[in-house]
Amino acid sequence: MLRQLQADRKAAFEQAVEEAEALTQLAEKAGETYNPATDFPRELLPPQFDFSNPEIVRLIAHRRRLKAAQQSTPNPEKRLKTAA
How confident is the model over 39-66, as pLDDT tens digits? 877 777 766 666 677 888 888 899 889 9
The yes-or-no verdict on residue 82 having pLDDT over 60 is: no
- The region of weakest confidence among 20-29, 36-45, 50-59, 70-79 is 70-79
- The mean pLDDT value for 23-48 works out to 83
Which CB contacts under 8 angstroms, 24+ apart, belong to 49-54?
Answer: 49/9, 49/12, 49/13, 49/16, 50/9, 51/13, 51/16
pTM: 0.68
